[in-house]
Amino acid sequence: VELGAARLLDTGTPYLTRDAIAAAPEPLLGYLPYQPGMVIFGLPRALAGDAWWTDARIYFAIATAAALIAALRLLNGRPDRDDQGAVGATRRQNPQPSLDHADGAGWADGGRGGLLLRAAQVVTVLPVCALTLATGGDDLPVLALCLLALAFAGRGRWTASGVAAGAAAALKLFAWPVAAVLLFHALTSGRRPAVRFIVPAAGLPIAALLPFLLVGPSGVAENLVRFPLGMGLVESPAASPLPGHLIATLVPGGRAMAAGLLIAAAIAIAVWLVRRPPTTAGAAAAVCATGLLIAIMLMPATRFGYLLYPAAYAVWAIALTPARWPVTAPSHEG
């Protein structure tokens, strides 16, 4: 990320061409398999040089904390008018006692504080997340922005949800499936919410990528297409022994087989979304958790650290369920 930021300042693009990568002393370091927005985190070091405060990981942590705090504040707030109906409908279907209902602080699951704590912990102290933040950290702001997009969607704030999803998609491809799922969720509320969501969700990553695609399309293709597909000059270091990688490396014709399985899984998820689109943000998070878990297991180039995405979405699917939001005490005023 920091090298990409330095290249951006020197050449006008963070992406090297195939020939430039081949001529580099360490070809692997010549690749930047991220969307161009990621280089923002490397700009402090590129501009100010080596110092403790220019480490990109510091800014990964700051961005993660900001997005996570914003998402938790949304979860902690009271339901909007549109959400009240969802809360009531869900509780009529699944009646559960709430705690401390009189002062409006009740939760259907053991208390608001405990659920918020678990939602925060899964992004911060879950070992796979804490290790990622300490050693690299680039996945955490992507995850936190996606969680913020889900939280905004749970409030029916579709433009804000689209901005958060678009910002995440401008950083890394792992946010694109989340944006797609949220689009199907928005469509259940009507065409206008879907438009309000998709304009920033698609516009931000396109606006981030388009200038570099015009300046150096071959560099973009080499870094964002060929390298992730295993067609680069060097192999991806993402080589954890998950099923997709094992099939690709140990089975004759395994790379094509793993790719076929991944495509089949994507088609199955797409059919699921078309036939049963998620009607709540919690359901959307559950679809994201399921889909990304399957994708990570089947990707030819993958790593255990990516499991932080489905783990976090699975926990937040519970936190985003309307029946688990705080409820306002009924008013006795005329």
Instruction: Give the residue extent of every domain in the chain.
Output: 2-79+102-238
Name residue 178's amino acid: V
Residues 44, 52: Cα–Cα separation, whole Å: 11
pLDDT confidence band for 234 (50 / 70 / 90): confident
pLDDT confidence band for 84 (50 / 70 / 90): very low
Instruction: Please tell me the pTM assigned to this model.
Output: 0.86
In this structure, what token pair is assigned to residue 168?
A: 């995440």
Mean pLDDT for 306-324 is 86
Q: For residue 102, how many other CB atoms are within 10 A of its CB?
A: 9
Q: Which of 46-55, 234-243, 284-293 has the lowest mean pLDDT?
A: 234-243
From the number of C-beta atoms within 10 Å of its C-beta (0-12, 13-18, 19+), residue 160 rates as buried
Q: Round the average pLDDT of the chain to a whole number and report it.
A: 85
Give φ, ψ of 104 to 5 degrees: 80, 10
- Three-state SS at 302: strand
In this structure, what token pair is assigned to residue 46?
A: 């590129």
The secondary structure element, H or E, covering residue 276 is: none
Q: Which of 31-35, 148-152, 229-233 has the lowest mean pLDDT?
A: 229-233
pLDDT, tens only, 65-82:
999 999 999 988 755 544
What region does 100 belong to: left with phi over 0, alpha with psi -120 to 50, or beta? left
